[in-house]
Structure formats: C-alpha cells, structure tokens
Amino acid sequence: MDQKVQEKVSEHWVSVLVKEIISSTKPPFTVASGITTSGPTHIGTASEFIYPNAIVTYLKNKGYDVRFIFIGDIMDAFDAIPKPLEKYKDKLEPHLGKPLVHVPDPMGCHESYGDHFLAEAVGLMEKFKVYPEIIKNSDLYKQGFYDKYATLYLKQRDKVRDVVFESSLREKKGKEYENWYPIAPICEKCGRISTCTVTGFDGEYYTYKCDKDVEYTKGCGYEGKAKISDHNYKLIWRVEWPSRQDFLKVTIEGFGKDHATRGGSADTASAVHRLILGREPPFYYRYGFFLLGGKKYSKSKGIGLDVNTVIKLMPPSVIKYFIYRADSQEDKNFDPTGQNMLLIYEDYEYASTLTQPIESLSRADRKKRIAYEISGERQWKAKYLDVLLHYQIYRDWEKVKTILNDREGVEYLKPFIQYWIENNFVPEEYSFSINPKKPEDMKGVIEFADKLKEGMDQLEIHNLVFDTAKSLNIEPKMFFKSLYTAIIGKDKGPKLGKLIAAIGPTRVKEILYQFK
C-alpha cells in the first residue's frame, strides 16, 4: 500500500483533513456551513453543524485562528409541508412557493417559518456546544451583498449558462437551456419565488412572468419588472453558493455526498469560481448521509428522529462521538434501539479511558481518542449500563449515587435513564425489577445460594453458576433460567454475575432461601 494511503487509513478523518487544509490553504481560516430551514431539525440536518465543528475544534486546538459561519438559507422556496406540521396545513398551504422568510410562523413565536426553524437549529447547536456566527441569507440579499454577482451573471448570461450546464452534465439545448437565467424573482403580486420565470434583461431591469406550475403550487399570472437593487430576487443555488463563498471569504466548506456526485452542485461551484470569478474554490470536503433503518433522513417525508428526541436518549457528547468515530464520508445508520445505543455509550466510555500517549495506541484506538477529544468530555465516572442496572434494582437515585460513588455523574445521567424507562428504550434483558418467583425446577438453586459469598465479583459468581450446574448435572441454560426466575421473575435478564454482584450476594441468598 502507498505510504500516503497507509497514513490516511491509520489516521482519524479530521486529522487527515486538517493536514490537507494546512498544506493547501493559508490562514486565517473561515469554515462555512448552512441549512435550509424547511422543517424541524433531525440528526441528519444536525450534521451540517456537527461535522464542521470537528474541523473548527481541531484547528483551534492546533492554535489556528478560525472563523466559523453558519448560513440560514431562509430565502429558499417553501415547497412542502413536513409531516410533523400537517396540523397547520390550513395556515401553511396558501404560502407554498414563497421564500421561507416570507411564510408566517404557524406557532406564532418568530417573525417567519424560516426564522422559527433556524432558531430551533441554533438552540440545538448550543446544546451541542457548537457556537458559529449565524448569518441569514435574507439579510445578505437585503444588504446588497449578492447584487454585483447577480448583475455580472445577467450581463454574462451566455457564458455563465454554459458553465452551469457543462459542469452539471446537462445538454446545452432545449427550452431549459434557452430560458435559463441566474436569478429567481419574487412575484410582486403573490409573493411566490418558485413560480416565476425571467423573460429578459436590458442591462438595468429584468422582466418576469409568474406563470409556472410546480405541482405543489401555481403562478398567479402576473407580469412584472424590477431592478437587482430592489433586492426582490434570489440567485439560483448553483451560482448563489460560490457567490457567497467569495464575498464571505470562505476557505473551507463541506457538504453531503449528494452535492459531491459528478455533475453535482460542488462541481458547478468550482467551475464558477475558476471560470467566472477567476479564483480557486475553497477547500471542499464531503460527508455521508444519516440513515434511519437504511433510509435517508428527510424533513418533508418525516423520516428521521427529531434531534430534540435524540438528545433525550444520549448526551450531545455521545451523539457527536457516534458521528465522529467513523470516516466522515461513510453513511451513519442510526439505530435507536436500546441495545445499539448501549454499545455507543460503552464505546464512548472506553474512548474516555485512552489517556496514554497517542503514539502508543493502536490505530483503532487513536481514532477513538481523537473522536472523543473533539466530542466533549465525559461527565460521569460510573458506566451508563451500571447506573441503568442499579436503578432497575433499587429504584432509588440516592442509593444508586452512594453505591456507585458518583453523585454528580449519576445525577447527570438520571434524565436519560428515566426517558429510556418511560419510553421503552431499555433492552428487554435490562427491563426488570426485583420480583422473586419460585422456579418450576428448584434443582441446584439452594446449593448455589449456599456457596454464594459476600465479596465475590461478577466473574466468580458467573463461574459458580456453571460449577454448580456441572456438579449437579444440570443443563446450564435451564439453571440460568431458574435463577433469573427466582430473582427477577423473568426467564432472562442482565448478565447473571453482574446482576447478583449489583444486588449483593447476601441479599440474593435471602431471596433464594425463601424458596427452601
């Protein structure tokens, strides 16, 4: 294997990217990202601030000056009512096709629909301890930042059109090509942006018709004209993106792999930078999709967990670790089952113990160490599973804090465990209470109790179960079943040695002796 390829394989993705950034781009660095606030934020859209935050954090840890900006694309057209908001259909449907910033907030607490969900995203960033500079693209349009680009693209329409079509692998013929313009006007009469077609530009005014049928809404038929300086337009995405990268002096920006496909918007942005704006594009990197049960998250289709739900299941630092630990370009299939989430907790807790010099760690552990360092420090000492197990046994938080000798940590984890229990996320084997029932087969139960001694650890107890079964010629599987039934009234549960050690051998002996 080539040495450079070998180094990339053995390093965490963020360290590889930062090395490439430092070697190809001069500081100070401006890292950019953004989202279209078309509905509630789920873990898929959260990636738009979580991934760049990893790069920002790593660069800052290396002593570099970094500006982190996050664009709220609230000038985009409102093109669908997300499933969670269908109860507001009567309020929202008349505004389909308008810029999100011009759609009323159905909850009535923000200036617009776009502002509402941008504020929600910002609130989530704060919970994840991600603090970029927030910029609304509606403000950038109002302040005229895009005007010189819109004028340039209109005056050089033929050249810009060819660059866009060639870079997006579209044929340079037909109505789409002939009617292409770099701007999308906002209709002066009905306020829609998705239904307007530019019909001409005379060097000062552009003319348009509001006549398109875009399936979810139709134009009103109005014909009008306006100046770029009226700020009642939006650049189409493939030229808007490189324009703002230029005037905001963006040096680093990432995107999902849908933008990174051949002929995607990243190819067009690079071409516009080089062939129209006469500069090199920013350093681009890409990241994979977030999947739920193998399906891509989608706000409009209601696929994906609301991030407000996810952060009730796991602390933000653990969620970030889940995202950061694998290669950034890999799709992340989030499986919100208790068993899967326990594995994520355990891996994060393991990574927190990797405090030795990084060069002494294995390749896999180096990656985990870096993922942990950029995710956030662990706020508890006891293992999450131990806290869950002990609470199921004692149902008394004060007792759990005392037994595990981690008062602050248990208090920190308390709301997550309560949410798991109340919403049935606890795996079946960990969903129990002390509920003794006499087993159908008592063979070996009392003999096991006789040999059980205070001070035994979970491995010694586990071995005692097998030794007792072997000495009495009992099928181990059936003996485990008898002991689980006698202690928790179920056929199975947590690892038996761990369970008995947590309850305490003395108390377990008392439970078992009642069946003498």
Give Cα separations from 326 to 14, 307, 308 (angstroms).
10, 20, 23
At the second CATH level, the architecture of 445-513 is Orthogonal Bundle (1.10)
Per-residue confidence at 305, pLDDT binned at 50, 70, 90? low
Dihedral sign computed on CA atoms, order 24, 29, 35, 41 = positive
pLDDT at 328: 84
Per-residue pLDDT of 285-300, as tens digits, reads: 998 877 776 666 554 4
CA torsion 411-415-417-419 (nearest 10°) is: 170
pTM of the model: 0.85
Q: What gap in Å lies between CA 200 and CA 208, rounded to an integer? A: 7
Q: What gap in Å lies between CA 425 and CA 431, rounded to an integer? A: 9
pLDDT at 5: 41
Q: Which of 394, 403, 503, 395 is nearest to 483 (CA)?
A: 503
pLDDT at 336: 82
DSSP, collapsed to helix, strand or coil, labels residue 464 as helix
Angle between helix axes 147-155 and 157-167 (nearest 10 degrees) is 90
Per-residue confidence at 6, pLDDT binned at 50, 70, 90? very low
Domain ranges of the chain: 305-428, 445-513
Give Cα separations from 396 to 131, 290, 379, 388, 418 (angstroms).
37, 37, 21, 11, 12
Per-residue confidence at 390, pLDDT binned at 50, 70, 90? very high
DSSP, collapsed to helix, strand or coil, labels residue 200 as strand
Per-residue pLDDT of 29-79, as tens digits, reads: 999 999 999 998 877 778 899 999 999 999 999 999 999 999 999 999 999
pLDDT at 7: 46
Q: What gap in Å lies between CA 413 and CA 311, rounded to an integer? A: 12
Per-residue pLDDT, averaged over 238-245, amounts to: 98
Per-residue pLDDT, averaged over 228-255, amounts to: 97
Identify the helix (H) or strand (E) that includes residue 158.
helix 157-167
Q: What gap in Å lies between CA 274 and CA 292, rounded to an integer? A: 38
Per-residue pLDDT, averaged over 322-326, amounts to: 90
CB of 250 within 8 A of CB of 282? Answer: yes
Per-residue pLDDT of 127-167, as tens digits, reads: 999 999 999 999 999 999 999 999 999 999 999 999 999 99
Q: What gap in Å lies between CA 365 and CA 111, rounded to an integer? A: 47
Give Cα separations from 288 to 105, 326, 329 (angstroms).
31, 10, 4
